[in-house]
Amino acid sequence: MAYSDKVIDHYTNPRNVGTLDKASHKVGTGLVGAPECGDVMRLQIQVDDNNVITDAKFKTFGCGSAIASSSLATEWLKGKSIDDAMKIDNMDIVEELALPPVKIHCSVLAEDAIKAAINDYRVKNGMEPIASEKVHH
């Protein structure tokens, strides 16, 4: 299977690899997937007092498309408010990276990771978690 240039680019030069202090109340952490399924993503956001994401980091165990999806997600998150970040849709990732149908689950996982990180931050800061009602593609 051939990968798109954008997947290869994110895979070869992954953006924002790393770890934020998950104990900090300014940091939200989302850990999704399972080793048995061959994909685990950990996405972290650093949020300022205006609920704007100032930094995002990821680490991913998975195929090239999973790594590229999480790398792209961290790029998109930076500078967004947590409310806007909540609107990132997995199909936006599919489109941007030209993922083939068998790799759509990678984008779903990235969206789940974003939402999990935001909710972790919300709960830490006394906000209600937002339930995801979306039916995935």
Active-site amino acid positions: 37, 106
**Cβ-based neighbour number of residue 125 at 10 Å:** 13
Q: Read off the tokens for 101.
A: 């149908």
Question: How many angstroms separate the CA atoms of 118 and 28, rounded?
Answer: 6
Q: Which of 15, 52, 61, 86 binds another protein (CB under 8 A)?
A: 61
Query: Could you tell me how many residues of this chain bind another protein (CB under 8 A)?
Result: 30
Return the range that interacts with another protein (CB under 8 A); candidates 9-17, 80-88, 89-97, 127-135: 9-17
Choose between 52 and 136: whose C-beta lies nearer to another protein.
Answer: 136
Is residue 17 near another protein by the rule CB under 8 A?
Answer: yes
Is residue 126 near another protein by the rule CB under 8 A?
Answer: no
Coil, strand or helix at 46? strand
The dihedral over CA atoms of 104, 62, 73, 46, expressed in degrees to the nearest 10, equals: 150
**Cβ-based neighbour number of residue 89 at 10 Å:** 13
> Which residues are at the interface with another protein (CB under 8 A)?
3, 11, 14, 17, 19, 31-42, 59-64, 66-67, 102, 105, 108-109, 112
